[in-house]
Amino acid sequence: MKKRGRGIGLSFYGTGYGNGFPDASKAKVKLLKDGKVGIYVGGTEVGQGAKTVLSQIGSETLKLPLDKIIFISEDTSLMPDSGTAAASRQTYNTGNAIKIACENFKNRLREAAREQLKLNAIHGLTVEKGEIYLEFFPQKRISFKELSKIYGDDNIEAEGEFIAQTIEMDPETGQGAPYWPYTFNACGVELEVDTITGLVEIERAVFAQDVGRAINPHLVEGQMDGGFAMALGYVLFEDLKLEKGKIYNNKFSKYLIPTAMDMIQIENIIVEEPEYTAPFGAKGIGEPVMIPVGPAILNAIYDAIGVRITELPVTPERLIKAIEEDGKKKEEI
Amino acid sequence: MNLDIVGRNILRIDALSKVTGKALYPEDIFMDNMVYGKTLRSKVPHAYIRIDTGKAEKIDGVIKVLTHKDVPNNEHGVIFKDHEVFCSEKVRRIGDPIAFVVAKNKKICELALKEILIEYEEIEEVFCPIKAMKEDSPKVHGDTNIVYHYKIRKGDVEEGFKNSYAIAENIYRTHMVDHAFLQPEAGISFIDEEGRVTVMVATQYPHYDREEIASALELSEEKVRIINTNIGGAFGGREDISLQIHLALAAKVLNRPIKAIYSREESFIAHAKRHSMIMKYKTGADRDGKLLAMEAEIVGDTGAYASWATNVLRKSGVHATGPYFIPNVKVDSIAVYTNNPFAGAMRGFGATQVPIAHEQQMDILAEKLGIDPIAIRMKNIFKQGSITATGQVLTDSVPLDRCIEKVAEKIDFSLEREEAY
Amino acid sequence: MVEIKLKVNGKSYILEIEEDMRLLDLLREKLGLLGVKEGCSEGECGACTVIMDGKVVNSCLVMAFQAEGSSITTIEGLEKEGEIHPIQQAFIEVGAVQCGYCTPGMILSAKALLDKNPNPTEEEIREGISGNLCRCTGYNKIIQAVEKGKGV
Amino acid sequence: MQAYRGKTIEEVIQLLAKYKGKVIAGGTDLIIDLRNGKLTSDTLIDISSIEELRRVEEYDETINIGAATTFTQIIENPLFQENLYGLKRACNTVGSPQIRNKGTIGGNIANGSPAADSIPPLLCLDSIIVLESIKGKREIGLEDYYKDNISIKEDELIISVQFKKPDKGQILSFAKLGLRKALAISRLSIATLLELDENNKVKTIKIASGSLGRYPMREPIVEEFLLGRELTVDVTDKAVKVLQQVMGERLGGRSTLPYKRIAVERIFKEALGDGLKRLKGVEIW
């Protein structure tokens, strides 16, 4: 028989290393010779879109078009330490570091502009679109390009550091504030279980993810789709066949991850509620997007067949066995 | 807030290089005078070893066989320095690195690997984390296999269960899985024009790699340089050291470029896995579905090395309640060594496993109480101002209710619907 | 060593190759076409996909000597006069790229599909790229990119 | 290693006689085996460009599929869109587009895998394998090849697989259970060739299974059970029980048996149901 079921899963996720461990990101911003701005951070592009998102944060803070920004994150001899590209922390932590560095950099630019424009002070100087000008007397203006000609490469620069605020937990009671910020989500799925083959087919999925603010909605959706697929593999397909410490399924013909035909369109909903400590309110979502999917699938399987599966992965074989055992148990009663 | 670029679908700045195939990953880098390296790995899960590289070294085209004897400081690890760069006396898992052959080409490397003689004196292994916790179990490191024990003690769970109308009790088991990023580990090392030991690699954290290499080679960090290439996916699987120190050491010893590329099969045994967990849960709610108490015992198998085990099991423990306010909570989250593949970071980092338990617990309670899965959740979820099980106040940006509403708008979970179990 | 003649990205080559070389090795190591990626070496992941005489193949499962007389297109062959192919453009625009490792093979599968069937359904697109594994995107943005690349 | 690219069958069998090399066509299994060291060979003889071996020929009574014909060629051939659709369907479930573009029907046979998707339909058609060596031609029944473990000699080349064209009223069907929807090795598969008489009773039935034993095979006991009966729900359920009994005896003690015994019901009914649907336009399950 083919039986349909629906399930929901929720999760929350605390960003960062946590537990009072110094979770620092550093960024460096420099005026380059052609008036472009270099942003140097150790935040790695693993495919998640860090380069793009972090550039957007820099661009927004500097009010400078993206094509005027050079983003360098590859070489330890050039860039400061921005922590690991993990714990969903790059957007929040390194994003904040870039924002701080860019604000500091703007002040360095204002200082330089004050000197060149022979002004008394820096206040009232707006930095925008590659220029610094006095808001109430716009004739007083100077471009990044002109400044870079005067000061040369490497002379106007600023740094920024962001350290997340977390508190170590008590070793006996576990009380403390281990992570910040927290991210929330909910995923609902509808699926069909074939009670003869044990195959589970996902028919529909609705996924709502809190992001604080989406820096780049397409990239958020890409993470949500990818997280869903990874969770689908986790719960239904992937099995290392670990026996006595040996991985028997050590290749892609045996370790099955979802193909395009196993995935479906996901109805992704981005929920925004800016987080006050975050850069433009944006929280990290790289990990959270995988978390609620598995339990939603498991709850939907129960809804379909009335059998709780408490062990992963839910391979067809395990599912059939669970149905059989459940049948026997019910007979005994 | 007036935003120009934040919130816009800016095209990825690395997309053009990737769609044209011009994006370079470590295996795409070729250098003059370059030679190849390949790792010899343990075939057994727990044994004392004796290594004889003599025969391999004599093979024509073999340039060097590196072992623990060549490493100034033979240890590394993200938290505990429990990994050896090359195993010196003991292997603790299948796949532990023992030697690194450098040869003129890949074929000679393969040939030489077969000629390195490893004498294994096998010792009793332990694969079950529950068994590993016992005093009389074989020890993977030192005199206990318990790496970490995180506790939450909040309120009085016994009292909470006493007052509960419905209680759900279950044991949930999750398995080890692999990141299965598409690009297997690869790297190339050389001495740069300023004399720095340089490794081009696909890594999640270049500064950490630099620190570990500097420490293992006993160099100052300024003498080590990491260049991150494009990275073919990571998901946590590129946090621990894999081939970075091997390559750096080879470049330092040989003063020429060395390249190493893992096959898919080697990739599977080289990097960490997601922790498998055994999660014993007991959750109680009152007649209205308000959660009163939760008790969870979580045992995570970190395999042969700790990697991030402390942080992963801590994250499991902190997230064990799920996004719900529960007045009485008792959590024990324990990381254990075994002779399995080592576990470390993977997307969700301990917070991915616990919802497999707590979300099914919620549905079980809902069914017992005859209320629908949305209703029971809405009664208990974190809202602005809620206090977590660790006593943290969620002061800002807690739109979980909105997330649930959005999902429930599109999918009907009510008990009245047809087909509801 | 054997000598083979083949056409790659429109250019004719006569090459001396080793007998045990795969097409993948030939393209990467002899011709420097590094957009051909090796992800599994067993024809499962499709990262090494190239178009051979109009059809997609896993270049890890073709011996180089078997390519004698064939015409091969790799990702490097899609650019015409400095302009990228509309499918490549579509991948950029909809955000179908993440880590990028599956991307060249994926684009070639998409191209071969659209060359044969200019107006595929979603199901046909999923099938068309089913030999290309992607771990990052969950495929949906890729499907969207292929939809966008239809009929251009 | 030596490598030869055969241009004619004659040339290949001469090379085989001389070197006892390994024949490579699609290479989708062979190259993996070479890499894993499961197979070693000093000589590879490629047959993938021999036109004679890469085509499907229709004669008055028979169809002849050249050994180096790819799965894609079969899928796209109009001959397999009607009553021989089951073969197309089987070929369409092989691997992925890339694998189907290279993998060949002869390779599927030579490989001898119990999970080879194209074999059960060919077994239902009572196919014959044609082999050639410098000593001449030889024909063996596909069923015997597996059942009697007849080996293809080192100097022999599989030329083609042949079968009698079934009557228009005979429908070839195929169903497979894979763990995912693409790139899936078959956990089990069933092919059926079905014909009904004017009273809706089973006039012809041939059933073959994949992965229900050490090799793909016909299921004569189930065939016998169904012959002459009407395919009611009850009869089909009983046929499933017969098949379960048969496979139980065959796979006794194997850890995969309990699951396969249950799951086979879906796949068996899917194959048979497909035949019935295409014959009568009705769905009964």
> Can you tell me the distance from the alpha carbon of A211 to that of B399, in angstroms, rounded to the nearest whole number?
9
Domain co-membership, A315 together with A249:
yes
B277 & B152 share domain: yes
Is residue C80 included in any domain, yes or no?
no
CB B192 within 8 A of CB B256: no
- Cβ(B92)–Cβ(B305) below 8 Å: yes
**What pLDDT is recorded for position D112?**
87
Q: Give a yes or no: residue B421 inside a domain.
A: no
pLDDT per residue over C90-103, tens digit each? 999 999 999 999 99
pLDDT at D217: 97
| Dihedral, D230, D234, D235, D236 alpha carbons, nearest 10 | 110
Do C10 and C59 have their domain in common?
A: yes
Between A137-141, A181-185, B95-99, B414-418, the lowest mean confidence (pLDDT) is in: B414-418
Q: Which of C40, C98, C143 has its CB closest to that of A251?
A: C40
- Mean pLDDT, all residues of chain B: 97
Q: Please, what's the largest Cα pairwise distance for chain D?
A: 62
Nearest-CA neighbor of D206 among D123, D267, D89? D123
Residues 6-65 (D) with a CB less than 8 A from some CB of C: 24, 26-28, 31-32, 34-35, 44, 46, 48-49
Torsion of CA C116, C119, C124, C130, to 10 degrees: 60
C148, with CB counted inside 10 A (0-12, 13-18, 19+), is middle
Question: In which band, very low, low, confident or very high, does the pLDDT at D284 lie, cut at 50, 70 and 90?
Answer: low
- Residue A167: inside a domain: no
Whether residues A87 and A196 share a domain: the answer is no
Q: Do A261 and C126 touch (CB under 8 A)?
A: yes
Residue with tokens 């942003």: A39
Mean pLDDT calculated for residue range B161-175: 98
Using CA atoms, how far apart are residues A80 and A43, in angstroms rounded to an integer?
Answer: 9
Q: What pLDDT, on the 0 to 100 scale, is given for residue C129? A: 98
- Among A99, A134, A162, give the residue marking a domain's end: A162
Dihedrals phi, psi of D277, to nearest 5 degrees: -65, -40
Identify the H or E element spanning B159: helix B157-162
Digit-by-digit pLDDT tens for chain A (333 residues) are 899 999 999 999 999 988 988 899 999 999 998 999 999 999 999 999 999 999 999 999 999 999 999 999 999 999 999 999 999 999 999 999 999 999 999 999 999 999 999 999 999 999 999 999 999 999 999 999 999 999 998 799 999 999 999 999 999 999 999 999 999 999 999 999 999 999 999 999 999 999 999 999 999 999 999 999 999 999 999 999 999 999 999 999 999 999 999 999 999 999 999 999 999 999 999 999 999 999 999 999 999 999 999 999 999 999 999 999 999 998 887
- Whether A13 and B347 have beta carbons less than 8 Å apart is answered as no
- Give, in degrees to the nearest 5, the angle at Cα B77 between B75 and B79: 130
Question: Looking at B241, B270, B299, which one is the last position of a domain?
Answer: B270
Beta strands in B175-287 (DSSP E): 186-191, 197-201, 224-228, 258-261, 276-285
Residue ending a domain, choose from C75, C94, C129: C75
Give the CATH number of the domain where residue A139 resides.
3.30.365.10
- pLDDT classification of B420: cutoffs 50, 70, 90: low
Interchain CB contact of A246 with B (< 8 Å): yes
Q: What's the mean pLDDT in B80-107?
A: 98
Shortest Cα distance, chain B CAs vs residue C135, angstroms? 6
Confidence of residue B417 (pLDDT cuts 50, 70, 90): confident
Q: How far apart are CA D147 and CA D128, in angstroms?
A: 13
Q: Does A102 fall in a domain? A: yes
Q: What DSSP element (H or E) covers D251?
A: helix D233-251
The H or E element containing residue A322 is helix A316-332
Chain A residues within 8 A of C129 when measuring between CB atoms:
260
Two tokens at A147? 């400044």
Q: What is the pLDDT of residue A234?
A: 98
A305, A14 in Cβ contact below 8 A? no
SS (H, E, C) B342-359: CECCCCCCCCCCHHHHHH
In contact, A239 and A313? CB cutoff 8 Å: yes
In angstroms, the CA B421 to CA C52 distance is: 52
Q: Which CATH class is domain D171-280?
A: alpha beta
For chain B, the chains sharing at least 3 beta-carbon pairs closer than 8 angstroms are: A, C
Answer whether residue C24 is part of any domain: yes
Predicted local distance difference test score (pLDDT) of residue B419: 63
Q: What is each CA distance from B144 to B141, B147, C23, D158, in whole angstroms?
A: 7, 8, 52, 61
Q: Identify the burial level of B228 via C-beta atoms within 10 angstroms of its C-beta, where 0-12 means exposed, 13-18 middle and 19 or more buried.
A: buried
The beta-carbon neighbor of C97 closest among B9, B18, B182 is: B18
CB atoms within 10 A of CB C122: 15
Please indicate, yes or no, if residue A210 is contained in any of the structural domains. yes
Q: Both A143 and A229 in a single domain?
A: no
Residue D161: strand pairing partners: D65, D129
Residues A314, A231, single domain; the answer is yes
The string of DSSP letters for A57-94 reads HHHHHHT--GGGEEEE-SBTTTS-----S-TT-IIIII
DSSP per-residue letters across D100-151: HHH-BHHHHHHH--TT-TTHHHHHHTT-EEEEEETTEEEEEEHHHHHHTTPP
Strand order in the sheet with B47-52: B90-91, B47-52, B117-122
Residues C56, C120: one domain?
no
In sequence order, what DSSP letters do the residues of B71-130 get, joined into one string? -SS--B-SSS--B-SS-SSEE-STT-EEEEEEESSHHHHHHHHHH-EEEEEE------HH
Answer yes or no: is A184 within a domain.
Answer: yes
- Of A15-29, B263-277, B299-313, the least confident: A15-29
**What is the predicted pLDDT for the residue at A22?**
87
* Two structure tokens written together for B417: 């619907």
Q: Give the residue, B339 or C150, on which the prediction is more confident.
A: B339
Between the alpha carbon of residue A141 and those of residues A125, A132, A138, the distances in Å are: 9, 6, 6
In 3-state terms, what secondary structure has residue C83? strand
Residue contact A257–C40, C-beta within 8 A: no
Residue labelled with tokens 């809405």: B378
The pTM of this model reads 0.98
Contact A318, A236 (CB under 8 A): no
End-to-end distance of chain A based on CA atoms, in angstroms? 23
Q: Quick one: which of B186, B219, B290, B174 has its CA closest to B72?
A: B219
- CB < 8 Å to D96, chain A: 259
- Reading phi first (left if > 0) and then psi (alpha if -120 to 50, else beta), residue B291 is in beta
Contact between C66 and D98 using a beta-carbon 8 Å cutoff: no
Contacts of B360 in chain A (CB under 8 A): 295, 298-299, 302, 308, 310
Q: Is residue D205 a contact partner of residue D192, using CB atoms and an 8 Å limit?
A: yes
Beta bridge partners of A271: A210
Classify strands A125-128 and A131-134 as parallel, antiparallel or unpaired: antiparallel
Which residue in chain D has the smallest CA separation from A314?
A: D179
A105 domain residue, yes or no? yes
Same domain, C65 and C109: no
pLDDT level of residue B421 (50, 70, 90 thresholds): low
Report the candidate in C37, C151, C10, C133 with the shortest Cα–Cα distance to residue C90. Answer: C151
Q: Within this chain, do residues B291 and B234 fall inside the same structural domain, yes or no?
A: no
Task: Please indicate, yes or no, whether residues C91 and C70 belong to a single structural domain of this protein.
Answer: no
**B387 Cβ under 8 Å from any chain A Cβ:** no
B369 and B295 in a common domain: yes
Of the residues B238, B270, B302, which one is the last residue of a structural domain? Answer: B270
Q: Is the peptide bond before A313 cis (omega within 30 degrees of 0)?
A: yes
ipTM, interface predicted TM-score of the complex:
0.97
The residues of A annotated with a catalytic role in the active site are 287
> Hey, which residues 23-42 in chain C have their CB within 8 Å of chain D?
41-42
- The mean pLDDT value for B273-282 works out to 98
In whole angstroms, give the CA distance from residue A181 to residue D282: 59
Burial class from Cβ neighbours inside 10 Å (0-12, 13-18, 19+) for residue C17 reads: buried
Residue A254's nearest CA partner among B301, D267, B268, C130 is: B268
Min distance A212 CA to chain B CA atoms (Å): 7
Q: How far, CA to CA in Å, does D276 sit from each of A104, B1, D271, D279? A: 76, 66, 9, 5
Same structural domain, C59 and C123 = no
* C52, C109: one domain: no
Residue B25 belongs to domain with CATH number? 3.90.1170.50
Among B270, B293, B320, the domain boundary falls at B270
3-state SS string over B46-70? CEEEEEECHHHHCCCCEEEEECHHH
Quick check: is B265 in a domain?
Answer: yes
A297 touches chain C (CB under 8 A): no
- The pLDDT, as a whole number, for residue D20 is 87
Q: Is residue A169 part of a domain?
A: no
Cβ–Cβ of B263/C33 closer than 8 Å? Answer: no
CA–CA separation, A262 vs C143, rounded Å?
A: 13
Residue in C41, C56, C65 nearest the CB of D35: C41
Domain match, B375 and B346 both = yes
Total domains in chain B come to 2
Question: Which residues neighbour C124 within 8 Å (Cβ) at sequence distance 6 or greater?
Answer: C113, C117
> What's the structural domain count of chain A?
2
Distances (CA, A) of B143 to B84, B125, D246: 18, 14, 54
Its domain, for residue A43, covers 24-162
Burial class (CB in 10 A: 0-12, 13-18, 19+), C141: buried
The chains in contact with chain C, meaning 3 or more Cβ pairs closer than 8 Å, are A, B, D
Please indicate if any CB of chain D lies within 8 Å of the CB of C13: no
Query: For residues B171 and B289, is the Cβ–Cβ distance under 8 A?
Result: no
Residue B376: partners with Cβ closer than 8 Å, 6 or more residues away? B285, B289, B362, B365, B366, B369
In this structure, are B92 and B230 located in the same domain? yes
Note whether B135 and B196 are same-domain residues. no
Query: Of the residues C75, C101, C126, which one is the last residue of a structural domain?
Result: C75
Residues in chain C closer than 8 A to A219 (CB atoms): 95
Q: What is the DSSP string of A179-215?
A: -SSEEEEEEEEEEEEETTT--EEEEEEEEEEEEES-S
Tell me the residue range of the domain where B247 lies.
15-122+180-270
Q: Spell out which residues of chain A touch residue B12, defining contact as CB-CB under 8 Å.
A: 49, 51-52, 219
Q: Cis omega (within 30 of 0) on the bond before A181?
A: yes
Determine the 3-state secondary structure of A160 from DSSP. strand
- The CA distance from A88 to B274, in Å, is 16
Residues in Cβ contact with B42 at an 8 Å cutoff, skipping those fewer than 6 apart: B49, B87, B91, B93, B94, B95, B96, B97, B98, B118, B120
CA distances from A33 to A101, A111, D153 (A): 19, 18, 74
CA atoms within 13 A on the CB side of D144: 9
Q: A163 Cβ partners below 8 Å, 6+ apart?
A: A22, A23, A24
Same domain, C65 and C91: no
Domain boundaries, chain D: 171-280
Owning domain of residue C96: 86-149
Do A279 and A327 fall within a single domain? yes
Structural domain total, chain C? 2
pLDDT digits (tens, 9 = 90+) for B341-382: 999 999 999 999 999 999 999 999 999 999 999 999 999 999
d(CA C68, CA A204): 47
Q: Check residues D20 and B275 and name the one with the higher pLDDT.
A: B275
Q: Which CATH number belongs to the domain containing residue C143 in this structure?
A: 1.10.150.120
